[in-house]
Structure 1
Amino acid sequence: MDSHAKDVVREMTRASDEERITFPEVVGALTKAGVERYHADLVCASKTYYMPDGSFETTACHATDAAAPAFSAAGVDAAVRAVQAQKIRYREFCRQIAAAGCVGYFVTLAGRCAVYYGRGGETHVERFPGAK
């Protein structure tokens, strides 16, 4: 990952944590920088961004409360809908998905979706609005 892309991913992490940016804006900036996908680990409070050539950058991000033991796809879905409707912001979104048992999520920019997962491997897949 080149230094420009590293700067972009670090800034997107900070901007998200500080609630200065929306998810569509993050996706746009990461796509422009050439990022292929990223992983948010809610347990370790880190995000890892991956380039198509296999290079990556890991950044620290804000910590969330421990995830609930049981995964609720409906709870994750409700948090996704609330953040999309701008009823909540990013930090509350993370709090709500953790309360729904989510321990992390993958976002694929090329695949235009996010995959939220629980401790036991349960998942909820959310396609980006307008994605097929």
Structure 2
Amino acid sequence: MNDDVKAVLQDCTSASNEERVTFPEVVAALAAVGVERYHTDLVRGETTYYLPGGESERVPGKPATRHPAAAFSAAGVADAVRAIQAGTIRYREFCERVMQAGCVGWMTFLAGKRVVYYGRTGDSHVEWFPGAR
């Protein structure tokens, strides 16, 4: 993975944490450098980005300030997704709300146009990118 791609990954992570970008902007930037998917670990506060050829890069972010709820609530995750899509909350509050709903992380699949949110016991909820269905 070249340094230009790594710089984009670093910027996407920091810009998200600093609430300077939206999810569609992140997806566009990542797709432009060939990212296939990425995994966000809320507890560790890091994101791992994957390219189609198997290369990956882990980028530290902001670790969680709270423990995710023990029980997973797909409805709680969906509510947080709707709120950030509507612009009524920003990224950090989104992370807090999905953790309150028991989410510990998610996998974002750019080509598959979906995000799979998951909890401590493997319960999960799939959200399609807007307009993907």
> Under TM normalisation by the shorter chain, which class is it?
over 0.9
State the TM-score, normalizing by the size of structure 2.
0.98
How big is the shift at 1:72? Answer: 0.2
Q: Deviations over 1:86-129 (max 9, x none)?
A: 00000000000000000000000000000000001000000001
Show the counterpart of 2:2.
2
Distance of 1:48 and 1:113 partners within structure 2: 16
Task: Report the alpha carbon displacement of residue 63 of structure 1 after superposing the two structures with TM.
Answer: 1.9
**Which blocks of at least 5 consecutive residues in structure 2 are unaligned?**
none
| Cα RMSD, aligned residues only | 0.6
Partner Cα distance (2:61, 2:85) in 1: 21
Matched residues in 2 for 1:111 and 1:2: separation? 24
- Match of residue 83 from structure 1: 84
Query: Number of residue pairs matched?
Result: 132
* Paired residue secondary structure (2:92): helix
For 1:111, the aligned partner's letter is G
1:25-72 per-residue CA deviation (whole Å, 9 max, x = no partner) reads: 000000001100000001111100000000010011112221000000
Q: Percent identity among equivalent residues?
A: 56
Where in structure 1 are there 5+ consecutive unaligned residues? none
Q: TM-score with structure 1 length normalisation?
A: 0.98
Q: Secondary structure at the match of 2:19?
A: coil
1:56-95 to 2 correspondences below 5 Å: 56-64=56-64, 65-95=66-96
- The corresponding residue for 1:15 is 15
Q: Which whole-Å CA distance do the structure 2 matches of 1:5 and 1:115 have between them?
A: 24
